[in-house]
Amino acid sequence: MKGRFIAFEGCEGAGKSTQMRLLSEYLTSRGIPHILTREPGGGQISEAIRKIILDGKNSEMTDECEALLYAAARVQHLADTVAPALARGETVLCDRYIFSSFAYQGYGRGLSLAFLKEINAFAIEKYMPDLTVFLDIPSSRAFERKHGADPDDRMEQAGEAFHKRVYQGYKSLLKEYPEEMTAVDCSGTKYETSARIAELLRSRGLIG
Ligand code: TYD
């Protein structure tokens, strides 16, 4: 049987990796085979592309180049990591996916959503997640939690206004894609959030 594909989205510092780790522990305790992976990255080639995209020294990168590199990392990651795991019947927990491109390169950078949908068509047509979980915490609070932006990370250095647009972008995407993406309130403790996520995934029949 084909495995389940679950993506996680949110602003910088929303706690995606913590929540994915807690969910992974839960799945392990239930004997559900799964992998944890991330975008951009996952495999060797996509991790190399990630370094180019995020490198603070690449300040001259155009927005279009950035969007195409994210899409390139995605197609490779799907081929070498996601698709094989799904074919083995494993659940795939992916840190960021297509809605990151829409929120960051679309709403954040100002590229057209039509262009982003076109360059990501391969992912949209063949590999939409069964559900995308949006960890809902405004960008300013998220940055507070992680004690400010990383000076070596080009995306984190994009500024407060950029990250506000990204957060508002996610809010618009939640309206545009109500079936595909669901918000989870992250204002409580990490364990409360984790319980909410597990309940959501159970209610959709995505985890046992
Ligand atoms: P990362 O350090 O993994 O950030 P986080 O821990 O917040 O997930 O770096 C990923 C960065 O890439 C993050 O700033 C979001 C950005 N991104 C895009 O702009 N577009 C995309 O399509 C993806 C997948 C990520």
Identify the pLDDT of residue 1: 58
Tell me the percentage of the chain whose pLDDT exceeds 90. 84
Dist. CA 103–CA 65, nearest whole Å: 16
- Could you give the 3-state DSSP secondary structure of residue 153? strand
Tell me if 77 CB under 6 Å of ligand 1.
no
Average pLDDT of every residue of the chain: 94
Q: Which two tokens stand for residue 79?
A: 């081929």
160 exposed, middle or buried (CB, 10 Å; 0-12, 13-18, 19+)?
Answer: exposed
What is the 3 state secondary structure string of 24-85? Answer: HHHHHHCCCCEEEEECCCCCHHHHHHHHHHHECCCCCCCHHHHHHHHHHHHHHHHHHHHHHH
Contact indicator for 207, 134 with CB cutoff of 8 Å: no
Q: Is the pLDDT of residue 152 over 80?
A: yes
Q: Which atom of ligand 1 is nearest to the CA of 70?
A: 22
Give me the pLDDT at residue 69, please: 98
For range 131-151, the mean pLDDT? 83
Q: How far is the CA of 100 from the centre of ligand 1 (A)?
A: 7
Interval 182-200: pLDDT, tens: 999 998 999 999 999 999 9
Summarize the chain as % helix, strand, coil (round to 5). Answer: 55, 15, 30
d(CA 14, CA 137): 6
Residue 147's pLDDT band (boundaries 50, 70, 90)? Answer: confident
Per-residue model confidence (pLDDT) at position 138: 80
Interval 120-138 mean pLDDT? 95
User: What is the rounded (10 degree) CA torsion for 139, 145, 151, 155?
Assistant: -30
pLDDT at 3 over 70: yes
Per-residue model confidence (pLDDT) at position 125: 92
**pLDDT band with cut points at 50, 70 and 90 for residue 13:** confident
Q: Which residue of 96, 124, 133, 150 sits with most ligand 1 atoms within 8 Å of its CB, as the best mutation to test the pocket?
A: 96
pLDDT of 154-174, one tens digit each?
888 888 899 999 999 999 999
State the Cα–Cα distance between residues 36 and 82, nearest whole angstrom.
Answer: 10
Q: How confident is the model at residue 157, as a pLDDT?
A: 85
**pLDDT at residue 144 in the model:** 74
Give the number of the atom of ligand 1 that is nearest the alpha carbon of residue 108. 19
**pLDDT band at residue 38 using 50, 70 and 90 as cut-offs:** very high
Of 3, 208, 26, 22, the closest CA to residue 92 belongs to 3
> CA-CA distance, 22 to 197, in Å (whole number)?
10
Alpha-carbon separation of residue 117 from 47, 99, 121, 174 (angstroms): 23, 10, 6, 16
Please give the C-alpha separations between residue 155 and each of 35, 50, 103, in angstroms, as whole numbers: 26, 11, 12
* Ligand 1, atom 6, residue with closest C-alpha: 12
Collapsing DSSP states into helix, strand and coil, what is residue 135?
strand
Dump pLDDT digits (tens) for 48-92: 999 999 999 999 999 999 999 999 999 999 999 999 999 999 999
For a pocket test of ligand 1, which of 36, 38, 69, 104 has the largest count of ligand atoms closer than 8 A to its C-beta?
104
Asked whether the whole model's pTM tops 0.85, one would answer yes
Question: What confidence score (pLDDT) does residue 141 get?
Answer: 75
